[in-house]
Amino acid sequence: MSTCCDTTPDRSPTSTLTLALAGNPNSGKTTIFNALTGLRQKVANYPGVTVEKKTGRCHLPATGTDPARWASIIDLPGTYSLISRSPDERVAMEVLRGLRADTPAPDAVIVVVDASNLQRNLYLVSQLIELGRPMIVALNMMDVAARRGLDVSPELLSKELGVPVIPVIGHKREGIDQLKAAIANARVAPLPDFPLPREFKDELLTVGTGLAKLDSGEAASTAASSGANKDVPLGIAVPPRAWICTDDRSRHLDRYQAIAERLLIGDTASDLSAVAARDPVSSLLASSRSRLATLGIEPMQADIEAHYRWIETVSSRVTIPLDELAAMGNPAGPGDVLHYESPKRRHLTDRVDAVLIHKVWGLVIFGLIMATIFVTIFWLAKPIMDGLQEGIKALGLLVTGHLGDGPIKDLLKDGIFAGVGAVVVFVPQIAILFFFLSVLEDSGYLARAAFLMDRLLAKVGLHGKSFIPLLSSFACAIPGIMATRTIEDRKSRLATILIAPFMSCSARLPVYTLLIGTFFVTAGAFAQAGIMLALYALGIVAAAGTAWIFKRSLLRGPTPAFILELPTYKVPQATQVARQVFNNTWSFLAKAGTTIFCLSIILWAMTYYPRLPVAQANNVAKVAVDRASEDYRQRLIAQGDGEAAPDEKQIADKAVGAEQIRHSIAGRIGHFMEPALRPLGYDWKMGVGLVGAFAAREVFVSTMGIIYSVGDPGEETADLSKAMRADVRDGKPVWTPLVAVSLLVWFVLAMQCMSTLAIVRRETGGWGWPIFMLVYMNALAYVVALGVYQIGRIWFV
């Protein structure tokens, strides 16, 4: 059992330190993690849960007698408290307490504190102090605090907490080297005397004494035989805190009273929950809570109030308004390393929020921002996409030009360049979308958007916490669904999961752009952006409608309260935005280079085999040439000379290619599906595309590219839009604007992503909800697309 208060990290020169990086959401924790670790990061999931596990390596410099060494840093999910109510918070609590077998207990904790919001952030610090692990405070956003007219003294805060406090400005990397050097000095903080009510303290003594008696008998032997921590009662795995230093003296802390407090306030840690449910501990706690209730004391509330009274005292001692500091002459120490801006723009955030979160103007501005994004996606990306498309065509000709006719050339030309290339060409639009989302997130605006959307979401039974997962789903439904782990209420979380795929993800963007750009090309960029905005709006309306139904039927329950901390506005960090854009765009390209590449080869093979018999191909070619020649003779008779004779080879190749598609595996599947799809306006080629889109929505584009390339072998590089517009059946266009609208509606509403279904299965713990999602979304898509096409035929045809 430890008896020294100066508990510091392991100083063995060959060992790697394990450091936990903790902090509130929006405290700049991830920025500091990136500054500490650089590119030495890896992302996985904690076993058994879908919470992201982000770790990185950091090289710590030699300091004094401590040699240089490496540290492994665990970036914990942002949390306001160690009393966990969501999967994210539970993982953070379990790692900090050393309860996860898959993650080593941290040697020290770096807690990131937002200096501009000190009191809110110090609540987590106070709980980490109670935890008893060596700790160091990274006092971040000092520049933001200065702009708000506050000067937070790191020296005074260090004296109050009893641990090193290092001022940093994460996005400028100021103070990062000092933070690395100070890690070796992390220490266990003295336990403050939180001003709990006297009656509550009496109950802690009573319950603690009871726990001590229980621990002295059979419970202790049980804990010992099970391999539990012998230094704590009943096998509870919390760091022992036998001696706590207070200035120059030591005093013994009753460990049983500390654990009694955690049990009484309802700490949900796995070891505490197990003890609380065990007799006679459960009876002891019930009796204590009953006596406190008689006195009008609620343990959790009393604990929180005691912590905040201590926090208010500490905050008032370490924070000085800058106008008072200026009156004192603004003394500066010679060791200052940070450079703050003057507070001339004091309360800028409050003035901006008066407009951006206004109940009317806030929604108008939000709509304008979204419209601007969509207009830019078309207007700015188009010339880049055109250049990229020409580059892919040139590369295809360069690679296949010297090859003889045969399967290898056809695979490269029609399978890889036509399939993968048709998707890669949309990379500029994907990059622009992620650029805007990153800027909005890093600036602090997305939190305001969540606040605005809370009013609307509450009307359908959800709350603002659902907004961030839904907004993330506009990039990809998978991280959006995983982000629902921050929602405490299970029914609200499940409802959010079930509607998240309605948000138009980036995988839909190539399909939207292809169909809008092909069949509404004459409408102009603003009209095209309006159609795109309407598609996104349709997904939102569908999500809201289904959520309203779910929350009043399958997932009935009250709407949980929504509490949101609005971060201070800041100029987006260029490196952070660039990192987000690069990572997400690279992820899209990696998907194109792996999943779509493999699927393109499979789909090409399905369109290429079985080969059309030679005799049948010759007959098809002869019939097509004879028909074209007869048509030409008839036109000559009717119109006279002047028209060039048809190219018989081109006509024969095109006819044989079309017949080859119909004869192939893909063609047979498409024709089998066509009776069910015909009422929606789709032909068998679209049916093949929809089948491919179940692997990934953007595969629809590559499938169309393959089908039209194979079906028109005379074209060395197919122009997909041109081929789709030229496609006819029985003398009528296969594709029309109405068909395009019907197909767009299908892609908005349908569940067509196997990866999303897999993540839903993992989040919900079974296949029941994913199958339900697949059935209800596709049924809804079919009915709405059917209505759009059939009503459109009556009105417009």
Tokens describing residue 184: 């070796």
The whole-number pLDDT of residue 575 equals: 79
Other C-beta atoms within 10 Å of 696: how many? 21
User: What is the identity of the amino acid at 753?
Assistant: C
The whole-number pLDDT of residue 425 equals: 77
The whole-number pLDDT of residue 283 equals: 86
User: What is the identity of the amino acid at 102?
Assistant: D
- Cα 488 from chain centroid? 17
Other C-beta atoms within 10 Å of 442: how many? 20
Contact 219, 233 (CB under 8 A): yes
Closest to 525 (Cα-Cα) out of 377, 722, 384, 369: 377
Bridge partners (DSSP) of residue 58 are 71
Closest to 607 (Cα-Cα) out of 726, 478, 708, 491: 708
User: What is the identity of the amino acid at 17?
Assistant: L
Bridge partners (DSSP) of residue 166 are 138
The whole-number pLDDT of residue 705 equals: 79
β pairing state of 69-75 and 52-60: antiparallel
- Residue ranges of domains in the chain: 3-185, 198-295, 592-796
β pairing state of 69-75 and 17-23: parallel
pLDDT digits (tens, 9 = 90+) for 263-276: 888 776 656 777 77
- Cα gap 539→501, rounded to integer Å: 9
User: What is the identity of the amino acid at 448?
Assistant: R
- Cα gap 737→520, rounded to integer Å: 7
Judging by beta carbons within 10 Å of its beta carbon (0-12, 13-18, 19+), is residue 472 exposed, middle or buried? Answer: buried
Pick left, alpha or beta for residue 342 (phi over 0 → left; psi -120 to 50 → alpha; otherwise beta): beta
- Cα gap 430→505, rounded to integer Å: 10
The whole-number pLDDT of residue 93 equals: 85
Give Cβ neighbours of residue 120 (< 8 Å, ≥ 6 apart): 24, 80, 114, 565
Ranges in the chain, pLDDT < 50: 1-7, 44-50, 218-233, 236-253, 325-346, 714-718
Tokens describing residue 708: 């039209």
The whole-number pLDDT of residue 12 equals: 57
Pick left, alpha or beta for residue 507 (phi over 0 → left; psi -120 to 50 → alpha; otherwise beta): alpha
pLDDT digits (tens, 9 = 90+) for 66-112: 788 889 999 988 888 887 777 777 888 888 888 787 888 899 999 99
Tokens describing residue 577: 């935005």
Q: What number of H helices and E strands is found in the chain?
A: 36, 13
CATH superfamily of 3-185: P-loop containing nucleotide triphosphate hydrolases (3.40.50.300)
Angle between helices 684-693 and 665-677 (to 10 degrees): 100
